[in-house]
Amino acid sequence: MNKNESALTGRRLAIIAYTGTAAFAPLRLLRRRYRHCLVLVQVPPYWVAVDSVIGRISYAVLDLQGVGEYLIALHGLGYRCQLARTQPVTVRRWRPMPLTCVEVVKRTLGMDDLGVWTPYQLFQRIKRTN
């Protein structure tokens, strides 16, 4: 596989990070350690971090050293990381879904799964398919 093949097929390396901290009180009802998630996607030679927090989506572009430091920082904050790959881009049917952290990660990965609503369900789904 040449280095441009992943760009053509849409299969990029991704890291999903899960945490038990919740900035929004109702999220404390979710499973401990799985109350929020974010995703880092490899776009060689960089990584793009996408984090959806109430009312905004933040992006960061990191080089290899930066992503290493970012992952070390996440680990220090108690995040659990999971390796995945994005799916090829397909035309999605329109669905009225709330733009939660899980939905942002699912869209970034190219997942089209109506049964995944919580970070723990996302973790389990990726664990089964990887």
Domain ranges for the chain, please list them: 5-129
The model's pTM is: 0.84
| Alpha-carbon 34 to chain mean position | 13
Of the candidates 111, 67, 65, 62, the one whose C-alpha atom is nearest the C-alpha of residue 85 is 111
pLDDT per residue of the chain (130 residues) written in tens, 0 to 9: 445 444 545 689 999 999 887 776 776 677 788 889 999 999 999 999 999 987 789 999 999 888 999 999 999 999 999 999 998 877 767 777 788 899 999 999 998 888 899 999 999 999 998 7
User: What single-letter DSSP state applies at residue 103?
Assistant: H
